[in-house]
Structures are given as C-alpha cells and as structure tokens.
Structure 1
Amino acid sequence: MRNVLFFAVMISTIIMISAQAKRNRKENIFDSNQTGSYIEQVSGLGMKMIYVKGGPFILGTVNKGEGYSDEYPAVESFLDSYYIGAFEVTQKQWQTIMKDNICMEENMPINRVSWNDALLFCEKLSELTGKNYQLPTEEQWEYAARGGIKNNNRKYSGSDEIDKVSWYSTNSNKEIHPVGLKHPNELGIYDMSGNVYEWCLDTYMSYTYKNDSVKHHSVGNYKVLRGGCWSDYASSCRVTHRFYDVSSSKSSKIGFRVVCVP
C-alpha cells in the first residue's frame, strides 16, 4: 500500500513539474525585457515571430476626410505585448501544419483560405508547440502595421512611399508575389500593406464596439480583413483601411499571418 501511495505521489509530482515547466517556457518568451524575435521551428516550420512591445495607441483615422467612414471615430486603446509573424503564412508553412498540397511557389503567401481555415491552422500550431497562436485582433494588426512603439505615423506600413513596401495594382502585374521582397516596417514586419489581405480575429463592426462587453470576435459572420492586396488601389493599402468578407470566403486575394499571445 505504501508503494502504491509513493508512486502515486511521484507521478503527481512529475505531472505538476512538467506543467509548470511548460508554463515557464511560455512565460519566458514574454519576459518584460524581451526584444527582437524568435523562430518557430516545430516540424521545421521556420516561422519568424517579431516581438511587439505593448502600449497605448489610437486605433483608426483621427481626422475625417483622410480615410473611409468606417475608420472613425478613432478610439484609444492599450495592448499587452505579443509576437506577430514577420511574414504572411507561406504555402510551405501551410503544408507543414495542415498537410495540404502546395499549389504555388513555397514562399508565396497562402491564399484561398477561409477565416475558419486560418483559425484551424492556429489551433493546430498551438497544439504542436504548447504556445497560444491566434489570428491577430484588429487592434494588434494595426498597432504592428504602424510600427508599435516605433510608430512614425506612416500612411503605409513602414513608409509613405507605397512602392517601397507594397505590392498593389500599379506594380504587382496583377499577381501575388513571394513574401518579404519589399522593405519591412519599423519593427521588421513585411507585407502588411498589399500582396494579400489578411484575416483578423474580429467581426466587422463600428469601432464603438470597443465600449461593449461582447467578445467582438465571437459574433457575426463578416470578419475583418486588413492590409489591401495585389489588385487594390493604394488607398486600400493604408494601415488604417478596413475591409471585410464572410468567414467562409476563399479568395486569391486573402491570406493571413499569426500572433502569439501569453
């Protein structure tokens, strides 16, 4: 009987230590002094994640006339720190996690995936790593696109000159391009203006939802898209521009990137 109790206690202790170690590994990447990035290497994924230090910022367009009507009224927001993909999820990375066949060049951003598909990718990646991968909220997306605490109030992500940072209707030759060919923004993040639209976690609605207690990503069928794409005019590639589609939509103009949160 003593031996049974002894082994039961030992097993329980090992489980507790293992769980704590897992929590510590997750917490360590969000250390308050953390800077820079890490590479998610599970299954050879090679996904570069950029650290975004949290802080206050203004979501949306402050001055009427500088954007579309759904970009204002701007709202004050505060974000905790998180990591975001340096690049849009690629065809190769999608195949690694989802086991689907690649239909384009490996370094092309994955596209023709629904919001639901993108969520499933995040869930599977989280299961494999023990970390918390998600689609970015609209706030996380815009804050990172602006450069976080390094925000220089650029019109596009990283520059006021769109051709430096974006594939859009004028320069894309009407096609998607491999990730990372344009200049990054202040945080080292690529293609947040143009190339493909990116799914966000949120349901599309007025910014006044920030005053609501409802979980804004859990209701509604129209989901936020950000960033503009290869077939869009420059105005759609601004960091404040908003768009949307039904969660089941699969378009060659839509992809996504991930965030990792505590």
Structure 2
Amino acid sequence: METMLSPESWLFYTNNSEYCCGFIQTYNFSDKGKKHQNTFEKFREDINKPTIQKVLLAAPSNIAYEMVFVEGGSFIMGRIPGQSEEYRNAANPAHKVTLSSYYIGKYEVTIDLWKSVMGSIPTCLGHELPKKGTSKKAVTGVTWDDAIKFCNKLSDKEGLKRAYKISGDQVTCDWNANGYRLPTEAEWEYAARGGKKSKNFKYSGYNSPEDVAKSEQEGPEYYPQIGAQPPNELGIYDMTGGMDEWCWDFFALYSSFDQVNPKGPSVGIWHIVRGHRPNTDRFYDFNAYFGMCHGLRLVRSKK
C-alpha cells in the first residue's frame, strides 16, 4: 500500500544555497563567544550572510547503522496528565494506537554516515564542523526533503528496496519495502516511551530534564555526541535531549478514535518533528526547513 504526499515548499529566503528556510522560530546564536537571544529582527540581519554550505569530505568505505527491534503493541498516544503544558493542545486528545513490529535506529544518523551516503555535509548558521570524532556526532541542518533522499540512497547502498518514490514534489511511501525510511510519528513516540518495556517516564528513559543531555551547544561542539547519556528501556539513545528528529507524517490535530499503524494525513503543510522535548510533545516544520537542531533517526519495517 502506498501513501501519496504533496508537500509544499514555503520559501522564506534564498542566499547562495540550494536550501531555503521555511519557518521562523526564536534561536540562541553565538556571537564571538557571547550567547544572546535572537529575535525576528536579528534573524533578518543574519540571513543576509551565507548560512549554508556543502562541505566535501572523504567518506568512509563501510556503512553501518545499528538498529533496535521494537515489538509491536498498543499504547496511549498523546499527552498524559502531568506532562508538558507548552504543547498540550497539539498533543490532545490521548488515544489508543496499535503498531506492528519494526526496527528503529539505536542512535541518530551521524556525520560520518551522512557523508558516506550523500558525499557532503549540511552545515547550518556558521557552526564549525568538528575536527574529529565525527563518527559519534549527530548530523544537523537536515531538511525533510534531504532526509527522504538519504533514506533512499542508503537503501541503494545496502541493496534494499527503496521505501520512497520521489516524483517532482510528490513523495510516495511503500510501507512493504525493506529499505530505510523515517519513522511515523506513532512509531517515534512508541519507541521513545520504551515500547512494551515502558516505565512511563516523562522523557525517553528519564523523568527529570536534568538527566537529559543538552543539545544546544556552541562552536565545534554544536554537533551533539550520540550515546552520551544512558539509553531508554529499549536500549535506544538520545530520543530526548538529542536532535529534533524528522518524522514522516504531516501535522494534524489528533483524533480521539483508536488507530492501527497511523501514518498521518495524506496532505498537509508541515511535517512532524520529535525529540529534544518530553515524549508526548509535538512540533512541526516545513519540508525545506533546515533547523539548527534538525537531524534524523531511521526505521525499517519488519517483514
């Protein structure tokens, strides 16, 4: 079965780059070592400077992406009383979801893995690439569009059937393919909660935000190290406290009805972004947005 999407690229600006920013948030920028809060007006000043570059680096000859098996089951998806208030409306109502088994990345996609597949690294907003340890650093500045292309190229390299068919601005997903794909929002939340081994933590494996690694770092250390904190109940790392991770789904408000293997609406404007926040919190961005903390984690269907 295939699902057809017709994403719209909302372009905010172009600046010597093949990528465009499509959404405005409030950021923290580093200015000569001094951290300051960046408002919309400051952002308008910053976009007059080059912000994205393609960096060509020697790629490792081997490809390895470690995955964790997630046994299917049912769970209550959405906001639970006592959890985050900031995104409470988007995470309501809580509803029952049943998922089939699947595999999900033990870690987020790293710089080394990305460059081995794509041949270049997206670098965002002037942050310097780390000089070493890139096999343990999560790639950032990734758009949803490029995440889709990455999945297909990695599938090709490993001799797997592509999950995605790209035709112009339309993306089709073959859910029966054995290749790599982005998680659905439900798959992401179920894995973050610990699946059948869940202990009902607020964060992925933790209850206190102090226990979660901070992903906002400056300079060369902007690229967070994967696996810096203990894993959750399933042995998965950094689902909160790491990157904002792209999901397949278009954003839509939840339904109160029970669902089986939900994949989100067939059309929309924004794609879901998860991570960096409590397990139930939802956020979204345009498919062409290259946020400072936007990365990815991969999934494969179990067949």
RMSD: 2.5
How far off is 1:176 after superposition? 3.7
How far does the alpha carbon of each residue in 1:134-183 deviate from its partner, in whole angstroms, 9 at most, with x for none?
100000000000001001110100011223333156xx569442111111
Matches within 5 A, 1:58-207: 58-63=76-81, 66-67=84-85, 68-101=88-121, 104-105=129-130, 106=134, 107-129=136-158, 130=160, 131-168=178-215, 172=217, 175-207=222-254
User: Match of 1:252, as an amino acid?
Assistant: M
CA contact (8 A) 1:176 1:196 kept: no
SS at 1:142 equivalent: helix
User: Match of 1:248, as an amino acid?
Assistant: A
What stretches of structure 1 of length at least 5 have no aligned partner? 1-41, 229-236
Using the TM superposition, name which of 148-157 and 210-219 deviates more: 210-219
* Counterpart in the other structure of 1:31: none
SS at 1:134 equivalent: coil
Which of the pair has more CA radius of gyration?
1
Whichever structure has more strand as a proportion of its residues is 2
Question: Which of 67, 81, 98 lines up with 1:49 in the alignment?
Answer: 67
CA contact (8 A) 1:92 1:102 kept: no
CA contact (8 A) 2:193 2:200 kept: yes
SS at 2:271 equivalent: strand
TM-score by structure 2 length? Answer: 0.64
The 3 A distance-change label for structure 1 pair 90 and 210 is: farther
Whichever structure has more helix as a proportion of its residues is 1
Which of the pair has the greater relative contact order for Cα pairs under 8 Å at 6+ separation? 2
CA contact (8 A) 1:201 1:217 kept: no
SS at 2:255 equivalent: helix
CA contact (8 A) 1:157 1:192 kept: yes
The number of aligned residues is 211
How far off is 1:113 after superposition? 1.2
TM-score by structure 1 length? Answer: 0.73
What stretches of structure 2 of length at least 5 have no aligned partner? 1-59, 124-128, 161-177
How far off is 1:46 after superposition? 2.0
User: Match of 2:137, as an amino acid?
Assistant: M
